[in-house]
Structure 1
Amino acid sequence: MRIFAAAALFDNDGTLLSSLESVVRCWTRWAEEYGVTGEDFARVGLHGRPAAEIVADLLPADRVPEALRRIEQLELQDVTGPDGGGVAPLPGSVELTGALPADRWAVVTSATRALAEARLARAGLAAPLVVAADDVTRGKPDPEPYLLAAAELGVDPAHCVVFEDAPAGLEAGRAAGMTTVALATTHRFDELSADLVVKDLSDLSVQVTAEGLEIVAER
């Protein structure tokens, strides 16, 4: 399969890099501190959503600001520690993004800017543009983050391709009117709805042409 686009927009965690060890470790400690149970987490869902929304779903409003500062503190400490919290690039991410012109791709993440940039640096990924939770009023599955990235790049949303591992992110990409590519890195193939579903970014290659980007599924 071939996808033609003017710009490529990548989710971060679970798409370009793996931060699962760090996320589980930090949220487990946070939950213990705030009396949140595993059943609570199962009810609200974690992956692909901004921390601000998750915390607001779990705690009374008057506890949210301090609790949100605490989870970001834990996650930043983890990723900037000696072992980087176990954060590492996922297969194909360095190669694929390295083949893209700097003005034709961006990272669109539900993490805060500080956390997203720390994880990208630890994974050895240099993103020319990052749209983070700090930049929007409504996070994924709302299309606002992806529409903002398209606007920042000066590209028609209809000419963008979104790479995501989470259903919430794929829903955001579809709502933005973009082509979607799902990566089965954190969910099963049958849990993902997209124009194309692949194992990870190593299944894809990109050619840069005068007309834009040509994304090719190798398998």
Structure 2
Amino acid sequence: MHIHAEALLFDNDGTLVSSLASVDRCWTRWAGEYGITAEQFGRIELHGRPAVEIAADLLPAGIVPEAVARIETLEVEDVPNGGVELLPGTRAFLDALPADRWAVVTSATRRLAEARLDAVGILPKTLVCADDITRGKPDPEPYLLAARQLGVDPARCVVFEDAPAGLQAGRAAGMTTVALATTHQAHELDADLVVKDLSALSALVTATGVEISVRG
């Protein structure tokens, strides 16, 4: 299968990097600090959603801003503790791309996203974070904003995601979607293409964009 794109838009956590161990540590501690029971916590989907939305599902509105600031601090401080690592294929795939043809689009705050990306040496020219939007994934706003910043028609963008909410956002934006089965089972992911991770793909830069292919 070959996919042609003018711009490639990547989720970060679970797509480019793995932060699952850090997320588990930090959110478990956070839940304990705010008196959230294991039963309450277990019903919430953490992955691929902005922290403010998760906190709003669990806590009274009046303490949500404080609680969001707290989880951000916990996660940023955990980065040096081995809180993030590159997923297979990330470095080689990104190195094959021109800097102005790709962006990172994450549900994390800018402070947290930059901490995680800096830890693994990824320096995107374009970075869309929770701070930049009013509606997070699965709303298409984050991906539409990235397309505007890159100056590319959404229909000519490809979204790389590991979470159902992010894939839904990409589809709603009118973009081609590629799912990476890094945090969910393949059958849970609705996308134009599903692969295990970026090591399964190759990118060839052409005069008109980027040709994405599944490795044989």
Q: TM-score, normalised by structure 2?
A: 0.98
| Identical residues among aligned pairs (%) | 71
In the alignment, does 2:111 pair up with 1:137? Answer: no
Matched ranges for 1:179-190 at <5 A: 179-190=176-187
Q: 1:175 deviation in Å?
A: 0.1
Matched ranges for 1:63-102 at <5 A: 63-79=63-79, 81=80, 83-85=81-83, 87-102=84-99
The equivalent residue for 1:162 is 159
In the alignment, does 2:7 pair up with 1:10? Answer: no
Matched ranges for 1:40-119 at <5 A: 40-79=40-79, 81=80, 83-85=81-83, 87-119=84-116
Q: 1:43 deviation in Å?
A: 2.2
Letter in 1 for 2:100: D
Q: Deviations over 1:24-46 (max 9, x none)?
A: 00001001100112322232311
Which secondary structure does the structure 1 equivalent of 2:92 belong to? helix
Contact 1:204–1:217 under 8 Å retained in 2: yes
| Equivalent pairs, count | 216
Determine which of 202, 207, 212 is the counterpart of 1:215: 212
Q: Deviations over 1:182-201 (max 9, x none)?
A: 00000001000100000000
Q: Distance in 1 between matches of 2:124 and 2:37?
A: 35
Q: Distance in 2 between matches of 1:36 and 1:27?
A: 11
Q: 1:125 deviation in Å?
A: 1.3
Q: Deviations over 1:131-174 (max 9, x none)?
A: 00000000000000000000000000000000000000000000
Contact 1:30–1:70 under 8 Å retained in 2: yes
For structure 2, list consecutive stretches of 5 or more residues without a partner in the other structure: none
Q: Distance in 2 between matches of 1:103 and 1:40?
A: 42
Matched ranges for 1:183-198 at <5 A: 183-198=180-195
Contact 2:31–2:41 under 8 Å retained in 1: no
Q: Distance in 1 between matches of 2:60 and 2:16?
A: 33
Contact 1:184–1:199 under 8 Å retained in 2: yes
The equivalent residue for 2:121 is 124
The equivalent residue for 1:151 is 148
CA RMSD of aligned residues (A): 0.8
Large movers: runs of 4+ above 3 Å: none
Q: 1:63 deviation in Å?
A: 1.1
For structure 1, list consecutive stretches of 5 or more residues without a partner in the other structure: none
